[in-house]
Every structure is written in structure tokens, then in C-alpha cells.
Amino acid sequence: MTDATYAVTDFVTNFQIVDRPIRGRAVRMGEGSLSGILHRHDYPKNLARILGEAVTLATLVGASLKFEGRLLVQAEGDGPVSMLVGEYRSDGGVRGYAKFDAEAWAHLDKVNKGDAPHMPQLFGPNGRLGLIIIQDNPAIQPYQGIVPLSKGTLSECAEDYFAMSEQVPTRLKLSVAELDRKDGNPVWVSGGMMVQRIAADETRGETEEAWREAEALFATLTDGELADADLPMEQLLYRLFHEQGVTMETPQALDDRCTCNQERLVETLKQMPDDSLREMTEADGTLGIDCQFCNRHYDIAIEDVTGNTN
């Protein structure tokens, strides 16, 4: 961990390189959003970092939604990590969680001597990454695009998603770090940035040369810059693209906010068979349910979901 003064604002914003067919988006997360998610579950450090990347990626991609809804980054496999989920909602709320086998993780950590694992190590040879778009309108079916988790990093796999599912040339970078603070309480921070090539048309003409130039500049971006608590995003964008000029839109605020509540949970449990619910019932006649995302505990009376106790 590095010693740093905490100064991160939690936000996502769009930017445009002036007079270039290049659009981009950037995100910064810290104490108001990502840090609570990662500290709440007390994951191993490298797993917390990768979950932080998933939440950051969900925000980076989901902020493009033009409707009320949410975007999930969901990684699954049969390795030490069976599932990892990062979620962004159009109201700026984010959340995330991971399921892993502690014994298998400890073995992997020993093999890697503490170094960060790559995606196939985490999720196995059949691991897959899904980006799932769910509109708040229940009449509209969710959209899901899936790619293999065959590259080393989550950002490289996400670039594969855009190449295969969206067919949009995209470069993407994610950085997550845990920083020490003077009060002794560490904070998790992250940064993410993506640039995309806008397709050529009669007005723009050919966009290949401008894209290659933007790629070269984007390649100079470092992990340290992305997650630097003391480097404002405006300055970072100017540092990268000052020769062409860059404009940044008004940011959207982000916060650590779960959507779970007792009413929604009761309605979900009512869909289950009564026999199954009774098998789950505690001696005091309640169902004890924990939210996987926020760890909140609910005690639901069996009669609230079955209508009777017989």
C-alpha cells in the first residue's frame, strides 16, 4: 500500500477529443462508492482488486445507457472464483460481490507467490465474461453479450467483448489500489478510462489515422495516474490529449448503494414452493436471508411468504 492524501471524488464522465472521431469515458471511485464494497466483504487483496475492476468496468460501460436500468459485469467459471459481479445503475448506484473457494484461492496465492493471478487462473479454462443490460421496464428482455475469459486481465477481456459483440474498436484500462491514510483506515480507490473509435462516414471521412494516434496516446496512460487520488481527471485528460484538445462533460456522481429491501425479498420468496421455504425455516419460524451484495441480514416470518404455518 502507498501513503497518500485521500482526495478522490466518486464520478463517471464522458469526454471528447476535439475535432477527432474519438469518444471516451472516465471514472474515479473511492470512499463514497468502491471502498465500502471491498471492505465490507474482507476479500483477499488480489480478489478485492479484481472485484474493484469489475465494479469500475460496469460503471465505465453502463454510463452509456440511454434509459433507466442497470449494467452487470458478470464473470463465471469453475476455478477458485466461481462468480464475480459488478453492477452499475443509471441512478449512479454501484455494488458488487464475489464467490470463491478459500482453500483453492490459498493454493493459487501460494503458487503465484502473492502476485496477481490472470483470468484463466481465477475462473478456469472455461471462464466467461458477460455484460448484461437490464432495463427497468420489465416488458423488455435483458441483453447479454458473452466472451471467454482467456486473456490475462479483465480489461483485455472487455476489449475482446467490444471487438466481438459491439464491433467497436475500443481501448480500455482499469486500475485499483488500496491507499493508506493518516487516520490509519485504508481506502480503496480505482480509476478507469476507455476510448472508442467513431465509425467513418461522409462527414468525418476516414477515421483510421486519428484512431491510431489516440491509441498511441492512450497507451502512455499508467495505472498510477488512473488511481492517483491527487491527480484530477481534468488534468489527466489534458496530460494525455492536450495537443488535440479535450472537453469533459459534467460528471455523474456515484455511490455505494444496494437495492435490496424486505418488500422485494418477500415477493421473491413467495415465488418459491412452500415445502422448500419450510425446509429453510429457523426454529423461531423465520427465514434468515443475507444480501450477497451488502451483507444486510433479513429475518422473514414464514407466514409472510406462505400465507400459513401448517
- Is 238 found in the same domain as 279? no
- Is 275 found in the same domain as 214? no
Handedness of CA 119, 163, 95, 32 (dihedral sign): positive
- Is 286 found in the same domain as 154? no
pLDDT at 298: 72
- Is 188 found in the same domain as 49? yes
pLDDT at 176: 97
Asked if 51 and 43 count as a contact pair (C-beta separation under 8 A), the reply is yes
- Is 284 found in the same domain as 144? no
pLDDT at 307: 61
- Is 281 found in the same domain as 229? no
Q: 3-state DSSP call for residue 292?
A: coil
Place of cell 454501484: 94
Structural domain of 289: 262-306
- Is 268 found in the same domain as 252? no
Where is the domain boundary, 218, 240, 256? Answer: 256
pLDDT at 222: 96
Residue 89 lies inside a defined structural domain of this protein: yes
pLDDT at 206: 66
What residues contact residue 264 under an 8 Å CB cut-off, 6+ apart? none
Residue 3 lies inside a defined structural domain of this protein: no
pLDDT at 205: 55
Please tell me the pTM assigned to this model: 0.87
- Is 173 found in the same domain as 298? no
Where is the domain boundary, 236, 256, 276? Answer: 256
Q: 3-state DSSP call for residue 136?
A: coil
pLDDT at 1: 38
Residue 2 lies inside a defined structural domain of this protein: no
Angstrom distance (rounded) from CA 238 to CA 141: 40
Which domain CATH number covers 291?
A: 3.90.1280.10
Phi-psi region of 12 (alpha: psi -120 to 50; beta: other; left: phi over 0): beta
Angle, CA of 154, 128 and 174, to the nearest 5° = 10
What are the pLDDT digits (tens) for 168-180? 899 999 999 998 8
Which parts of the chain register pLDDT below 70?
1-8, 200-206, 261, 307-310
Number of domains in the chain: 2
- Is 237 found in the same domain as 180? yes
